A and B are shown apart, each in its own frame.
Chain A
Amino acid sequence: MNILEIKNLHVTVDGTEILKGLDLTLPAGEVHAMMGPNGSGKSTLSYVLAGREGYEVTEGEVIYRGQDLLALDPDERAQAGVFLAFQYPVEIPGVANSVFLKAAVNAQRRARGEDELDAMDFLKRAKTQLAELKMEPEFLSRPINVGFSGGEKKRNEVFQMAMLEPTLAVLDETDSGLDIDALRIVAEGVNRQRAADRAMLVITHYQRLLNYIVPDRIHVLAKGRIVRSGGKELALELEEKGYGAFTDEKSAA
């Protein structure tokens, strides 16, 4: 079964076409990496999947577990099991991590017709996941991402993912801003989420992350289209030759 099927996707931002006919199939149980130079459209793809305003789909379709993903609002997508780990997690003063995450977990459970978690259950699960990610429990009472280091923000994204248990996780440059120890912890957190009924799309600029999160397939995105797909050995080829070798013409970026 396919978790995600993207067909001939064209996306325009502020009147400029960024994605120009992207095709991608992501079967259940697989982890795919999306690599590409700056400006190739990687982040645009992640925002379109999560439903951000200002990203206009002019052509093509996105099918998530057999349903039209583009017809859903961002909250409905999340409730259906889509998760985006943000490249730039947003700082929200005044709202504690725990308050936000408990509300999010329970909004998703409600939407799926499940019982809400009470405060005790939530706290137990949260502390277990925090420990896995080597984060202090005090983290829960801090306002969302406020004053967090780059590494803490990325860990927070992976923590949220672990709590929400998504069917489709899109990780947008989750490796950026991480030192090698943090990278390993975050990657382990992601690897724990791999499961037969889930899929992941790991967006990254560098091959480094893929040493830790080994993908089933790698796609190279350039100028809004996938120009090459292959197995995990493609990452090494990219590392060696650079993106220039995979694009027909020299990238403007």
Chain B
Amino acid sequence: MNTAVSETLSTADAHLRAFATLAPDLPGSGVEWLAALRRDAFKRFEDAGLPNRRLEAWKFTALDLVQNGAFTPAAAGRAPEAPALPGPEDWAARLVFVDGRLIDGLSDIPALGDGIILTTLARALEHDPGLIQGHISTATDAAGALWDLNAAFMADGAVLHLADGVRLETPISLVFLATGATGGASHTRNIFTLARGAEAQVIETYASAGPSAAPAFANAVTDIALAEGAALTHARVQDQGPAAVHTARAVVDVGAEARYASFALALGARLSRQETDLAFSAPGGRARLMGAYLGRGRQHLDHTTRVDHAYPNCETEELFKGVLDDHAHGVFQGLIRVAPKAIGTDARQKNQALLLSERAVADTKPELEILADDVKCAHGASVGDIDADALFYLMARGLPEAEARRLLIGGFVGEVIDRFDAGALGEHLHHCVARWQDEDAGGDDD
């Protein structure tokens, strides 16, 4: 007990010192509303402390790796000379951040045409803070302390704004590399605002550069606002090094008849938690939240979603699939709330996990809070081994067992990718999964 208290204090102290030291140098320090937002967020973070497992929302995921005090916010690190850049091959623009800050030399930000603004958080705060004012979200309860920590320390990120009716056909690729060199955390904040009828595709890729064993803590938030009839296809790929901690949150406001499709793929990191907080702010919106977590070794991979149906006739489809080998631990938590006036809601949620080892663990917690009549809601969860009938069927056609299993696992995950996107982003995600399967050759069993 004593140890726990003193550890919490020392973490808070470390952050307090860092906040006092770093705040004046953070971007937008001269912008009063932002300074106030940072101060308030930091105050709430101090009060709440890092989330622990006594909080219902953190029941299955412990942040011990963060609590050892090693992850105070980092000063700007040095960019590696020519790092391998992950992400899809085709992009309309690519922004590369190293340890939380844009590296111009690695990025390619062409003019994208009328009605499209693509810049960085730091630059927006310097030149046009009004562009993002009102779009920076902060935590709503103690379980969101990392969200506030991000608000207090966010140093950079991508800002994308599309004007009415503007369509971007090719994905924007955002790459976040952690070197672990400065031993610190990177708090990035992306802000996407799509005006009426605008459409875009964005992929965020989080990876490590430099020695793979270097610990790094990436704590990212992406704020998304979709106006009436707007549509965003949004992929997040977490492929950080084996010692990394990754926490990320997408905060999504879906306007009238707007459509949001997301895919959260967890492949890397020692500890990963990808959250989605989605609220319909008008009738008729549609959300598809898809994801997959592929774990081996002692990885802990958590997907947590919260969807608020506060308006009528909105539709949510959620599907998350896990493949867990060795000692890996997968978590899916999905909360769907349907307010009394949200009649005509159609919400479906499904979580399926494949356990490839007897020591792998899958926790699943679907929750439906339905306060409206005349709604369609369903949820389901299954945890199991590879289907023996399917395996036999493939082997009976001549496929060796290893090849048959690979095909079945690829198909199991591939199904949810296909439901997310049949275009370039989907294809890229299939490649990511195939590469993960190729890495299995070593048979890591630690």
Chain A residues with CB under 8 Å of chain B are 50-53, 73-75, 77-79, 83-84, 86, 89-90, 92-95, 99-101, 103-105, 107-108, 111, 143, 160, 164
Is B411 in contact with A75, judged by CB distance below 8 angstroms? no
Complex: A108 Cα to B415 Cα, angstroms: 26
Q: How far is the CA of A79 from the CA of B389 in the complex (A)?
A: 19
- In the complex, besides A75-B395, A94-B413, A94-B414, 8 extra interface pairs with C-beta distance below 8 angstroms are A51-B395, A78-B396, A83-B397, A92-B411, A103-B403, A104-B394, A107-B399, A143-B411
Question: Does B105 sit within 8 A of A, measured CB to CB?
Answer: no
User: Which 7 A-B residue pairs are closest in the complex by CB-CB distance?
Assistant: A94-B411, A94-B415, A95-B411, A78-B398, A104-B397, A90-B393, A74-B395
Which residues 376-413 of B have a CB within 8 angstroms of A? 387-390, 392-401, 403-404, 407-408, 410-413
User: A228–B86 Cα gap in the complex (Å)?
Assistant: 67
Contact (Cβ within 8 A) A103 B399: yes
| A75 & B404 in contact (Cβ 8 Å cutoff) | yes
Nearest-Cβ distance from residue A27 to partner chain B, whole angstroms: 24
Bin chain B's interface residue count: 20 to 34
Residues of A within 8 A of B414 (CB): 94-95
Of A52, A95, A107, the contact of B398 (CB 8 Å cutoff): A107
Main secondary structure of the interface of B (DSSP, over half): helix
Is the pair B393, A92 in contact by a Cβ cutoff of 8 Å? yes
Q: Is the CB of B415 within 8 A of A86?
A: no
- 7 residue pairs bridging A and B, Cβ less than 8 Å apart: A74-B396, A75-B398, A90-B393, A94-B415, A95-B414, A104-B394, A111-B398
Could you say which of B395, B398, B400, B408 contacts A92, with CB atoms under 8 Å apart? B408
Q: A82: shortest Cβ distance to chain B, in Å? A: 8
Whether B418 is near chain A, meaning CB under 8 Å from some CB there, is yes
Check A94–B418 contact: CB distance below 8 A.
yes
Q: Which residues of B contact A108 (CB under 8 A)?
A: 398
CB distance from A20 to the nearest CB of B (A): 24
Whether the pair B388, A53 counts as a contact (CB closer than 8 A) is yes
Minimum CB–CB distance from B415 to chain A (whole Å) comes to 3
CB distance from A148 to the nearest CB of B (A): 14
Q: Tell me, rounded to whole Å, the shortest Cβ–Cβ distance linking B320 to chain A.
A: 15
**When the two chains form their complex, are residues A107 and B400 in contact, meaning their CB atoms are under 8 A apart?**
yes
Query: What is the CA–CA distance of A78 and B400 in the complex, to the nearest angstrom?
Result: 10
Q: A75 with B389: in contact, given A95-B410, A95-B411 (CB under 8 Å)?
A: no
